[in-house]
Structure 1
Amino acid sequence: MPLLGKKVFTLATIDRNGETGDAPYLIPHTKERFQSKSEYKKRKDLYSQNIWTCRATGHINLTHEEACKSETVVMEQLASQFPKCFEKDVLELVHHSTASLDAIVDKAWWKLHQQFIIGEKVNLKVKVADKLIPAKVTAIDSSAGDKMATSCNSPSSDKENSADEKDKSPKKWVPPKFLPYTYSIELDNEAKVIHSVPGSDMHRVSKVPSKDMLRHFIRISALRSGTASTSPWVVNADLVKQYKLVSKFADFFLSPVKMPEAFKKAEENGKKRKLSGKSLSVM
């Protein structure tokens, strides 16, 4: 739903007894009905003002109807360009993060390009038979990648880097390389799980969403809890429940009263990190 200021605006309550269905005054684009002509005119006037924000794109100074249409277009794009299998991993990065939207988008984009995701549909390459077998990722083992991360400063790699610097010719963009993780996959056509499968032996079925699609998805799925640039992001309650997202603030588990306190602390920590980063750059 469109934002009024930085908050989601709630539509008029629909009477469960069906009385509102007989109300004579209808706002077509929201399907809201009103018994009172004055209430209808008041709401219609509010919707006609250029004070609304499209939650998905962040476009401001729209009428309510324009913002709704903009969100509908984005939702249709997300339905076709943002596979469901990627939602949980992206939302886990978003929920209670104090990072900027761009920083979260970059982090999510890199993650999705460098590894397969649990629940993702893949094709297993069978080299001997020269065929692809459909499967689903059930587990990830990142231990091999962690070991390789400690041995990346080899002389040969230094030579390759220097050679790359000399080569100034334009090259076609290529996606980031997959991390050397291994995976457990469940074959689609038989109840069989194969373990320790290298990422190089699998093909992706779903295309990773673009940064624009990631940005739209995050905007439509979460809001900052405050007005500060370091206010924590809070994912929509229904998505938190659906994906069982874990709180990043232990205070939440103690008492709901401490939630504002935890948000304030997160904002302060975010500001401190920004200040320390600036001071280091000056030095």
Structure 2
Amino acid sequence: MPLFKRKPFSLLEAPKDLDPKEQVFQIRFTKEIFQDYKDYINRLNLYRQRVWTCKISGKSNLTFEEALVSEHHAVAKAQKLPTELMAPVLRMIQYSTLGLYELVNKIYDVLQEDVFEGLELYAKQDGLEASCRILKILESDGTKMYEVGWLHRDKTVINMSVIKAADLIRRRAPVSRNTLKIFIRDATSQNAPWIIHENLAKRYGISIEPPNDMMLGEGLQKKGRKRHEDGPAGDAIKKLKNDEEHAYAPIKYPIDDLLVRPADDLVFSKRPPLSTDFRVPRYSVGDLFMVWDFCLSFGRVLNLSPFSLADLENAICHKESNVLLVEIHGAIFHLLIKDEGDYFTVLQNKKRKLKQVTLVTWTEYLCDFLEMTKMDELSNNIATVRKGYYSLIDTDVKLKILRELVDDAITTYPIREKLSEWADQRQALAATKRESTRKAKEEQNSNMGEVKGGNESVDDQSKGKEEKDTCNISRSKTEGKRNGAQHLETEIEKLSICSSPIGKDRHYNRYWFFRREGRLFVESADSREWGYYSTKEELDALMSSLNIKGIRERALKRQLDKLYIKISNVLEKRSKEITNKLLLEEAVLRRSTRVRAQPRDNPSMAFLKYVNKWKDN
């Protein structure tokens, strides 16, 4: 199992009493099951962070899945250790207190010098080198002799003989140091001292009881025995202390937000709750924004005058056809026909007269488009639209239809041409801004030099007056240039090609601010939930709740600081407008019943009075 920040990590147990019909979420490589999607996403994001370490090979800076693959390869490599070496190597590992690299070097040196039964190597046979296997070690009168079996190419023994130690040829150790390192990590359950797995000990007849007497630097020390400050044991103790100090080293922030410890969040204020009083389903709010932003951004191309987000939302939810929806559909249909693309071809094949889209004929064009999409979810509503019951279609389906229309409209030539024009204008404005900034710096440097040189040739009174006049002139110039820079930034912002979120919080929720809408919107990581903040107090509470120790919330905090004045002004303006409307309505209600006042219009029905002032008649 991979290590989390070099510490053991446990997987979650499967939930109990799961309903067989319940929808759950499972992580592919851990088989963990989650009932809540947010918990699933948070866990998956944690596994994607490069904070995992392969337990066997020691490789770090990996994702969880990469660490699993590394462990799989390491286990396969550890199994390359010859079977005949397993027992002697495990005996050298058991209860050794050497560090990993010292133990690897010791075993490597022993394998390079010593000979074991079953070991395959080379030896001299009739003056020639041949491959052989040690079958038995013979010892008489202090002299070692070896009974070997000479090997064929297929590793079968074809002949046996007894040779001297001098006839053996050791070219290199039978295994590499890296293989030994991986094998030690895979075969042990703990280190300091190293203890091999119990099943391996039983298989190869190795004692699991700690020995009573140990060599210096190996095994366990007796109770009360004096510790050696020098030698391998002392080095191991020092290494252990260094590891402990490293484990408690201070964390360098920022880090991934999900890794910030909960205790660090106690100093932050509670995040304000989101308002979610949308009329459309929350999972369709993204489509609502997409359609609204497209219509306002390309209103001149579509010949469609602006309207508010609330008007579009109310029009979508209205149970009857209304002029705003007809104008939106008609504007996009005209654009698709003008582009002479697939939709234009469909109309020609049907010999449809390309007449003006009106409140009566717009459903015909809509049915043709739904047939062209070949999407069952949308085309299933063709019969309903043809019967004149468009208003009975579900709100989310209406928005999906508009989304498909917008997707097709974006690919048309007029839109692409407009995008190219805006891109060129943005580049020109950016170049102008850079040039003005450069000139401002040059003038500032030259003014400083003039003031310094002129002050040397005047008396104190004229000197003070000159400094004051110079400061006033430079201040007025600076203010003028600052206003010019702000104007350029405003123009560049107006030419923004697409809207993008200003940042994300620790749970990957995206934050959106539209310059035409006086609210700060929040989109969940899976885009299924939306909410918003509508007051300056909520904005302040949000900013004070962000933890800058996390990477995402630090970036979000910086963007909110940068846009704070703009966002807070818009929020306050919207709050004042709502307050004034409420006060005005209360004043009307308090009027004397003797005065017959005209009934006020319902703001939620304002879309019914929409007039397309940019329509090309």
Fold agreement, TM-score > 0.5 = yes
Deviations 1:114-166 (A, max 9, x none): 122222234554317x5746434334649847xxxxxxxxxxxxxxxxxxxxx
User: Which residues of 2 match residues 97-116 of structure 1 at below 5 A?
Assistant: 97-116=96-115
> 2:88 — aligned with what?
89
Shift in CA distance, 109/36, structure 1 to aligned 2, threshold 3 Å: same
Q: In 2 relative to 1, CA 126–224 (structure 1 residues): closer, same or farther, beyond 3 Å? A: same
Note if contact 1:24-1:33 (Cα within 8 Å) is conserved in structure 2. Answer: no
Match of 1:135 in 2: 133
CA contact (8 A) 2:120 2:134 kept: yes
Greater fraction strand: 1
Identify the match of residue 197 of structure 2 among 236, 242, 245: 236
Distance between the aligned counterparts of 1:111 and 1:71, measured in 2?
A: 27
CA distance in 2, matches of 1:71, 1:7: 15
Cα deviation, 1:16-41, whole Å, max 9, x if unaligned, reads: xxx99x995433334x2526446755
Distance 1:125 1:264, change over 3 A: closer
Moved more, 64-73 or 102-111: 64-73
Q: How far is the alpha carbon of 1:97 from its aligned partner?
A: 0.7
Please state how far the C-alpha of 1:91 moved relative to its aligned partner: 1.9
How far apart are the structure 2 equivalents of 1:111 and 1:142?
23
Q: Does 1:57 align with 2:23?
A: no
Tell me if the contact between 2:54 and 2:67 (Cα under 8 Å) persists in the aligned partners.
yes
CA distance in 2, matches of 1:242, 1:134: 27
Q: Deviations over 1:1-53 (max 9, x none)?
A: 32346565455679xxxx99x995433334x2526446755653543344422
| Partner AA of 1:101 in structure 2 | L
Cα distance in 1 between the residues matched to 2:89 and 2:139: 19
For 2:145, the aligned partner's letter is: T
Q: Deviations over 1:84-103 (max 9, x none)?
A: 33333222111111111122
Displacement, 1:272?
1.3
Partner of 2:186: 220
Cα separation, 2, equivalents of 1:221 and 1:50? 26
Is contact 1:138–1:186 with CA below 8 Å preserved after alignment?
no
Which structure shows the higher helix fraction? 2
- The alignment partner of 1:272 has SS state of coil
Aligned with 1:239: secondary structure? helix
Separation in structure 2 between the aligned mates of residue 233 and residue 200 of structure 1, nearest angstrom: 35
Q: Secondary structure at the match of 1:116?
A: coil
Helix, strand or coil at the partner of 1:183: strand
- The secondary structure found in structure 2 opposite 1:182 is strand
The 8 Å contact of residues 52 and 61 in structure 1, kept in 2 or not, is answered as yes
TM-score calculated relative to the size of structure 1: 0.57
Instruction: Give the CA deviation at 1:232.
Output: 0.6
User: Shift of the alpha carbon at 1:202?
Assistant: 3.8
Q: TM-score, normalised by structure 2?
A: 0.29
Q: Quick one: which amino acid aligns to residue 233 of structure 1?
A: W
Task: Please name the residue that 1:121 is paired with.
Answer: 120
What is the number of equivalent residue pairs in this alignment?
Answer: 217
Q: Which structure has the bigger radius of gyration?
A: 2
What SS does the corresponding residue of 2:115 show, helix, strand or coil?
coil
- Runs of 5+ in structure 2 lacking a partner? 151-155, 213-218, 235-617
Query: What's the offset of the Cα at 1:108?
Result: 0.6
Which amino acid in the other structure matches residue 100 of structure 1? G
CA distance in 2, matches of 1:266, 1:13: 41
- Tell me, in whole angstroms, the C-alpha distance in 2 between the residues paired with 1:5 and 1:142: 55
- Given candidates 205, 208, 233, the residue that maps to 1:247 is 208
CA distance in 1, matches of 2:23, 2:200: 33
Q: Work out the CA distance in 2 between the residues paired with 1:219 and 1:99.
A: 13
1:163 match? none
Displacement over 6 Å in runs of 4+: 266-269
Cα separation, partners in 2 of 1:245 and 1:25, compared to 1, 3 Å: farther
Separation in 2, partners of 1:142, 1:27: 63
Structure 1 residues 265 and 141, CA gap change in structure 2 (3 angstroms): same
Indicate the residue corresponding to 1:72 in structure 2.
72
Of residues 222, 227, 242, the one that matches 1:272 is 227
Give 1:104 shift: 0.8
Q: State yes or no: 1:28 paired with 2:28.
A: yes
1:168-192 Cα offsets, whole Å, 9 max, x none, are: xxxxxxxxxxxxx4334456547x8
Q: Secondary structure at the match of 1:219?
A: helix
- After superposition, the CA RMSD in angstroms is 4.4
Contact 1:4-1:51 at 8 Å conserved across structures: yes
Letter in 1 for 2:135: V
Once the 2 structures are TM-superposed, how far is the Cα of residue 222 of structure 1 from its aligned partner? 1.9
Q: Which has the higher contact order (CA 8 A, sep 6+)?
A: 1
Letter in 1 for 2:146: Y
Contact kept, 8 Å, 1:97 with 1:233, in 2: the verdict is yes
